[in-house]
Amino acid sequence: MGETRIALRRFARRRMALVGAAFLALLIAGALAAPVVSPHDPLRQDLARMLSGPSPAHLLGTDDLGRDVLTRLLYGARLSLGAAGLAVAIATLAGVPIGLVAGYLGGRIDDALMRVIDALQAFPALILAMAIAAALGPGLFNVMVAVGVVYTPRFARLVRGQVLALREEPFVESARAAGASHARVLARHVLPNVMAPIVVQVSIGVAFALLAETALSFLGVGIKPPEPSWGTDVGRGYRFMRLAPWLVFMPGTAILLTALAFNLVGDGIRDAFDPRQSREG
């Protein structure tokens, strides 16, 4: 556990990662407080005032049906982050156990599992997501389940790779020699050492899921109107780019910055746990 503290300190020394973390903290706070903080109702249309630019009444302007952009950004954060989180949670919950089992047990089980993973990974991601979304029905959450399934192979491969390396480590062998069951070894010895890369991948995965939501909304999948989500709003704003560019820029920038922040934090965590850091060349 001392390692975590060391890692945290290293993390704090990287400026970009800190900035990213601060941004995310602010964002999540804003999203949680959206109902309290927002100036308007995200669904309230004011057709007479559609596509108007920033003004005192509407700090970030109004969208193509006269709804307040700032409010929709805040509420959209809830949905988009929540959905992205769900997608990554699914990918983690599915991928990590698969990776653990495959890497640890090896042999034929590993081969079989990896083949399924390979097949899944080879599938065109967006098409698979569309097919699953079509099967489950419309709705952002159904779509994110699809995205989660598509992203599972990354976790599985990552964890498997780590476990393969750890399997031969002396502490694992001695635990087995002491009579610990496979499950116990996995849970108490292997898993904690794999946490760092998993956390990194989670961070990157949320960014990926956010972008996936955007792409799918652009292609016309996964909208459950009139729920506000960043991806839907970007998809809608895209059509009005010439008339009202802020409609695309606002949620687009939100997605960009959030994805950026998650990536920077992820990079920071990876570097923080990287033992080579201490031997700065």
Partner 1 sequence: MGRFLRRRVLAVVPLLLLVTSMVFSLILLLPGDPAVALIGMEDASEEKLAAIRQRMGLDRPLIVQYASWLGRVAQGNLGVSLRTGQPVTEAIRERAPITLGLALAATAFGLLVGMPLAILAARRRGGTMDAAASGLAAFGVAVPNFWLGSMLVLVLALHLRWLPATGYVSPFDSASDALRHMLLPTLTLGASAVAEVTRQLRSSLGETLAADFVRTARAKGLAEGRVVAKHALRPALIPVVTVAGLTISRLVSNTVVVESIFALPGLGRLNLESVLNRDFPMLQGAVLVTVLAVIVVNLLSDLLYGLIDPRIRYG
Partner 2 sequence: MSQPTRAVFAAACLAIVTVLLSGSPAAAQAPKPGGTLRAALRAEVTTFDPHRGASGSDHMYLYPVFDTLVRFDEKLNPKPGLAESWETPDPKTLVLKLRRGVKFHDGTPFNAEAVRFNLTRAQDKTISSMSSELVNVQDVEVVNESTVRLRLRAPDASLILAFTDRAGMMISPTAAQKQGDQFGRAPVGAGEYRMARWQPGSEVRLDRFADYYEPGRPYLDAIVFKIIPDADTRVSALRSGQVDFIMEVPAQDFAGLKGERNLRALEGPTLAYWRVFLNVAKAPLEKKAVREAMNLALDRPTLLKTIIFGLGEVVASPFPAGYWANNPALKPWPYDPARAKAKLAEAGLPNGFTLDMVLEPTPEHVRRAEAIQAQWGAVGIKVDLKPMDLAKGVQSFFRGKELAAANYRWTGRPDPDQSVRAMFHSTGFYNPGGLKVPRVEELMDQAKATYKIEERRRLYQQVAEVVQQEAMDIGIYVASSLEAMTVSVQGYQQNFLGKPVFRGVWLQGK
Footprint of partner 2 on this chain (CB under 8 A)? 43, 45, 47-48, 50, 64-66, 134, 138, 220-221, 223-226, 232, 235-236, 238-243
Stretch that binds partner 1, among 27-35, 57-65, 84-92, 118-126 (CB under 8 A): 118-126
Please tell me whether residue 132 binds partner 1 under the rule CB under 8 A.
yes
Q: Is the peptide bond before 275 cis (omega within 30 degrees of 0)?
A: no
Q: Which residues 6+ apart lie within 8 Å of 213 measured at CB?
A: 80, 83, 84, 140, 143, 144, 147, 222, 229, 230, 231
Q: C-beta of 70: minimal distance to partner 2 in Å? A: 19
CB burial of 113-151 (b: ≥16 within 10 Å; e: otherwise) equals bbeebeebbeeebbeebbebbeeeeeebebbbbbbbbbb
Q: C-beta of 257: minimal distance to partner 1 in Å? A: 8
Nearer to partner 2, 97 or 139 (CB): 139
- CB burial of residue 82 (10 Å; 0-12, 13-18, 19+): middle
Q: C-beta of 177: minimal distance to partner 1 in Å? A: 25
Classified as helix, coil or strand, 88 is helix
Answer with the entry of partner 2, partner 1, none that 180 interacts with (C-beta below 5 to 8 A by kind). Answer: none
Stretch that binds partner 1, among 29-37, 54-62, 108-116, 181-189 (CB under 8 A): 108-116
Rounded to an integer, what distance in angstroms lies between the CA atom of residue 273 and that of residue 199?
11
Q: Tell which phi-psi region holds residue 8, choosing left (phi > 0), alpha (psi between -120 and 50) or beta.
A: alpha
Please tell me whether residue 248 binds partner 1 under the rule CB under 8 A.
yes
Rg (CA), the chain: 22
How many angstroms separate the first and last alpha carbons of the chain? Answer: 26
- CB burial of residue 167 (10 Å; 0-12, 13-18, 19+): middle
Please tell me whether residue 211 binds partner 1 under the rule CB under 8 A.
yes
Do the Cβ atoms of 77 and 231 come closer than 8 Å?
no
Nearer to partner 1, 162 or 186 (CB): 162
Q: C-beta of 218: minimal distance to partner 1 in Å? A: 5
Q: C-beta of 139: minimal distance to partner 2 in Å? A: 10
Which of 135, 168, 177, 178 touches partner 1 (CB under 8 A)?
135
Answer with the entry of partner 1, partner 2, none that 224 interacts with (C-beta below 5 to 8 A by kind). Answer: partner 2
Nearer to partner 2, 23 or 249 (CB): 249
Residues that bind partner 1 (CB under 8 A): 13-16, 111, 115-116, 118-127, 130-132, 134-135, 204, 207, 211, 214-215, 218-219, 234, 238, 241, 248, 252, 255-257, 259-260, 263-264, 267, 270, 274, 276-277, 279-281
